[in-house]
Each structure stands twice: as C-alpha cells, then as structure tokens.
Structure 1
C-alpha cells in the first residue's frame, strides 16, 4: 500500500497544527496578525473546530496540576513545540477525541461592524441586547446547542438574555473567554489590554494565563491580556461612559485625547503638534462637539479654527 501524505491521511491534525501556530502568533499583539488569523479562522468550519480544540486543550493544561504541566511542558521546547507535543500525546492516547467528540457542523457567524462616530444596538435572539461602540466588530453565532459572540475589535456592552433552551452563552474576545452569569457588563479592547467592567450580577473570565476562571462581581472591573491576567478591582465611572456618549480623560495627553474624541464623534479634529503634551482631564460629550471643544479651549487656553468638516486646535 503506497504511503499517504500526512495532510491527506490526517487533515484534522494539519488543522490543529495551524491552529497551534496561530495561537502562538496571536501572543505577539500585532494588528496584522490579528487580521490574518481572522481570515484563516473564517475560511473553513474545520479551522474553527481546530481552534476551539486547541483553546480547550490549553485551558485543560492551565488547570492541570503543576507536576503534570512540568512533565508535559519541558523547558527545552518553544511554545508551539510544547503545545504540539501535548497534542501528539493526547492524540496518541485517543483522549482528545473522547474529551471533545465531533459535534454538529459549525454555526455560521454573522459579522457586524461600526465605523467612527457610530454606536449600534442589537437585539439578540435570546432577548438580550448588545451595544457596539465605535470602530467595533462582533460576530454572532447562535446555534442549537450554544450561543457565541465573537469580539474582534472595539467595545461592547452586553445585557444578557434568558435562553429558554438553556444554551450556554460565551463571548470569545482577543484576550480570553467570558461567561456571563445573568449580567450587564462592558468590554473594551485597546492596543494592549482588555478592560471588563460589570454593572449587574457577575461574569467569569478565562484566559491562557489563568489557572482557573476569574469571577468578576457587579461593581468590579478586570484588566487583562493574553499574557497577563489581572485581579478584580473597583470599577470606575469611566468604564462605561462611552455607552452614554461621554469621553472621560484623566491627565491624558492632548494628542491622544484628540484622537479618541475624533473617533468617538466621527468628526475630523486635529491639533498643532506643539500642543501634543498638554494634559486633559474632565468629561466631554461627543455628541455636543462644539460645546466640548469650547470648554477644552477655555481650560487649556487654545484657539479653535472651525472649517468645513474639520476643527483645528491651535495655541492662542
């Protein structure tokens, strides 16, 4: 009998190898890598199934006893080789297929995006409500056995609904997995970290660096990334200010403030480079731009030149 190429004989293993590679690359926190991974993830249901298995396997390893992890994850292996070595061991024992049996076909994901200056409210099939912040992208995948919301970019607020069918609800974000426990919460993803703030009830957050799910109660927030899981702390009023159309700044450099105000309002605003390091504090309504900029100019002694489609901030 002639030899059969591995990719043809065991396509599932080739998909798992690709998923493991992406898992490592996503740790680089590179926007181009994030976009490329999303293209791969959406290209085929086999890719999505492989990704879910690799994430589940990683979660199992995180929860394993320290001695077990030490045995499996030898220090001489790099991250991808460690993960694939474990995959090989699991496949050799037949345990992965037993732990994660083949299920129904992957549920199609409905992707929804917002632009600069746009916030959008969605009614979910279970009666919940999802609010998208500006420059956000989410994917909705409600199937017969589970409910999933994919957070690719931006900010969301979720008021979770009660599912009559009892399907579990999970949010898959860049930096971890979130399980709502009958709740309202916000999640913002910036260049480095995710900030989750709970307004009602509680949520559980799982990530690559968390040996167990972290519970975040109402009135608490959690700052985390793929590389580092923080601890619950007191929530801040500014955490969900964007849902009310307010931009809160605390000693923020003017250049960053102008960039955020422009994105939140959808209007073009620029400032003289000499003003970049001025510090801004306060709460500014993004839907009352004239008033907010007038207040800013008064506080920082600036001059505003308004032209069609653009505001210019200049020294007096």
Structure 2
C-alpha cells in the first residue's frame, strides 16, 4: 500500500492545492495545473486526497491567516507546512526521535519498570529510551530521551554510570532521577549521592534532596529539589509552579500522540502553576485554555495549536 507521506504525486497535489488557493494565481499557472491534472489518473486521486486533508486543516486555517496578515509567516508556506505536518508528521516524528533503536523504550503516557542484569531497576517515563552497555568493568547506560528513575544495586567494583547528552552521572548510592529536557539534563538525587561530570566542568557530587542541571552552556549550581514534583510523573502527574507555558507544553507533548504547536512565541513566557494528569492531556490543554489568555484547537487529534485569545 502506498504511503501517502512519501507518495510523490500526493506531495505534488498538496503543492498544487495550496497554489490554487492563492488569490493571486495567474492564467499560466492555472493552465499548468490543468495539464498536470490531466497527465495521469493518479493525479486526480491525489488531488482528491489533498482536498480531503484540507477539511481536516480547516479548523486551524483562520489562525494561519491571522499570522499571515500580521506578517509573521508566508501564507503559502504556512498552509503547505500545516498540511504537510498532518500528512508526514507521525512517521517522521517517530523516526527522528533519539534512541529509535534503544534497548528499552516507551510510548506516549507509557511507563515501564525494567530489572537490569545486576539487580538494579529503572523506571522509564513517557517517550523515553534507554540503552545498556554492561561489561565486567562497568555498568554503563545511555538515556537517549525522556526521564528515568534509577534504583541502583550496590556493586563497588563495577561503577554504575548513566550517560545523557554529553554528561555522565555516576551512582554513589541508591536512588536518583534523570530527565532529558529540551536544552538541558536535570539530575535529582533521592537517596545518597551521585557524581556528575559534564561540559568540561569539574565533577560535582550531588547529595540527596538536591537537583542540578547541565547543558551545552555548562553546569548550573545545585538547588534544593521539590522531590514530590520531581517524582510526580511516577504517579501520572505533572506538578508545575510558575513554569513558563512553553515548558509546560513541551512536557505535555511527551504524554500524547502528536505535537503541540505554540503559534505565538510571546505566549511561551506566561507562568503556569497547576497539577495535570498525564493520562488526560486533552483535559490539561482544556484547563490551560480556560485559565490563561490562550485558545487551543485540536487538528484531527494529532496537532494542537495554542494561540492568543
């Protein structure tokens, strides 16, 4: 069966459909379109599919038109981009996720607990991926994406090291949490301590009850952790206090099938304080729409658009 997302005729049809929606199209382009349509019966079928896709896209079209009038985005590229996201995003999104071939991975709103060969356990959160590399000398794990809670079995002769985005976290005790966020890695120690090495910085020993993050710009100073908020994901909850909306949407996106598109970057700075159930993300978006100066539109269950009221 032909995959629409990679069907050349379908992709051409999308381009033609958007072009024909342009009020400034000329006679030469209309003639070229008619010739393309008549050149192959598959073109007619592809164009019909493009027209059907437009019906799905129609609910968010007014917002694209508003952005176009405001000069933020070109109309044709916006419409074609939106249609292309509806067609190709599911497959492309999954194939380009880090850790696509990891040893253990989870889907949207899925959690699993893995017992490792040494007796340690790892709880993987939603959209997470983990690889193992156990040798007689070392227990090395790579957290490609998402979040994981580690409970480490004592084995002094074989260090337990988690690698995440260029840094390493070595267990010096029992329990800790590692989260791969948008632009940083967040490490929280629940019991005992860990040693963190990242970004050419001196190693830091992080004690229980403390949290530290690192990224391409270096390592930040440790802060006291809200352990209830950190571990909330293990009870299907997200707890945020004065967290920017863009961060909240990024977090919610991990728990649903599809993308959440913030249509106005200025909205991203709005602070959010709330408790969300990760198994009901549409309800969470509804609460956001009811309590903040934003509107939320769902496009065929896969895309959610957030824009000003």
How far off its partner does 1:113 sit? 2.7
Q: 208, 213, 219: which one pairs with 1:229?
A: 219
TM-score (norm 2): 0.56
Q: 202, 216, 222: which one pairs with 2:206?
A: 216
Q: 138, 145, 149: which one pairs with 1:153?
A: 145
CA offsets 1:105-145 (integer angstroms, 9 cap, x no match): xxxx9633333433332111111111223333221112223
1:208 to 1:252, Cα distance in 2 relative to 1, 3 A: closer
Residue correspondences, number: 210
Q: Aligned partners of 1:299, 1:178: CA distance in 2, in Å?
A: 39
1:124 aligns with 2:121: no
Q: 162, 172, 175: which one pairs with 1:181?
A: 172
Q: Aligned partners of 1:184, 1:270: CA distance in 2, in Å?
A: 35
The answer to whether the 8 A contact 1:171-1:178 is kept is: yes
The answer to whether the 8 A contact 1:176-1:226 is kept is: no
Q: Aligned partners of 1:270, 1:205: CA distance in 2, in Å?
A: 34
How far off its partner does 1:303 sit? 6.2
5+ long unaligned stretches in structure 1 = 1-34, 40-108
After superposition, where does 1:245-260 map in structure 2 within 5 Å?
Answer: 245-260=236-251
Match of 2:92 in 1: none
1:201 aligns with 2:219: no
The answer to whether the 8 A contact 2:99-2:145 is kept is: no
1:222 to 1:302, Cα distance in 2 relative to 1, 3 A: closer
Q: Aligned partners of 1:305, 1:172: CA distance in 2, in Å?
A: 38
CA offsets 1:18-67 (integer angstroms, 9 cap, x no match): xxxxxxxxxxxxxxxxx9x999xxxxxxxxxxxxxxxxxxxxxxxxxxxx
1:245 to 1:145, Cα distance in 2 relative to 1, 3 A: same
Match of 1:191 in 2: 182
1:169 to 1:303, Cα distance in 2 relative to 1, 3 A: closer
TM-score (norm 1): 0.55
How far off its partner does 1:147 sit? 1.2
Secondary structure of 1:135's aligned partner: coil
Secondary structure of 1:292's aligned partner: helix
The answer to whether the 8 A contact 1:180-1:204 is kept is: yes
Q: Aligned partners of 2:112, 2:246: CA distance in 1, in Å?
A: 27
1:289 to 1:136, Cα distance in 2 relative to 1, 3 A: closer
1:148 to 1:234, Cα distance in 2 relative to 1, 3 A: same
1:114 aligns with 2:106: yes
After superposition, where does 1:1-316 map in structure 2 within 5 Å?
Answer: 111-163=103-155, 166-211=157-202, 213-237=203-227, 238-266=229-257, 273=264, 276-277=267-268, 278-300=270-292, 309=301
Q: Aligned partners of 2:165, 2:298: CA distance in 1, in Å?
A: 38
Secondary structure of 2:183's aligned partner: coil
1:168 to 1:263, Cα distance in 2 relative to 1, 3 A: closer
Structural RMSD (CA): 3.5
1:169 to 1:284, Cα distance in 2 relative to 1, 3 A: same
Q: Aligned partners of 2:199, 2:271: CA distance in 1, in Å?
A: 36
Q: Aligned partners of 1:303, 1:222: CA distance in 2, in Å?
A: 34
Q: Aligned partners of 1:220, 1:257: CA distance in 2, in Å?
A: 22
The answer to whether the 8 A contact 1:271-1:314 is kept is: yes
